[in-house]
Amino acid sequence: MDSAEVTPQTASTMGNALANSLTDCPEGLPATFCLLLLIPDRIDHLDLRENPQIRYQYILQEPGSWSRHSLNP
């Protein structure tokens, strides 16, 4: 599935399918198992390799389309 097609509804369906497939494991799942599916709409990226460090913020505009903003001069 293309990342542009992921919506909260399809993500929920994918999460349920994964959880169902994991319950078929011969070992079973621990009672404390929890599946967490994250769908970000904002990402803060800090590149520590550069000097000075470079920081960008990516914001989801629409599915599959991100805008990038520099947060440091």
pLDDT of residue 62: 85
Domain span holding position 48: 40-73
* Residue 61 sits in the same domain as residue 73: yes
Same domain? For 23 and 47 the reply is no
* Domain total of the chain: 2
* Domain co-membership, 62 together with 52: yes
Residues 60 and 44 reside in one and the same domain: yes
H or E stretch at 45:
strand 42-47
User: Which residue reads 């769908």 in tokens?
Assistant: 39
50 pLDDT above the threshold of 50: yes
- Do residues 15 and 30 both lie within one domain? yes
Rounded distance between C-alpha atoms, residue 49 and residue 66, angstroms: 23
Which pTM was predicted?
0.55
Per-residue pLDDT of 11-48, as tens digits, reads: 667 667 776 666 666 677 777 878 787 888 999 999 99
Q: Report residue 60 as tokens.
A: 């989801």
Q: Are 48 and 35 in contact (CB under 8 A)?
A: no
How much is the pLDDT for 22? 63
Q: Residue 11 has what pLDDT?
A: 63
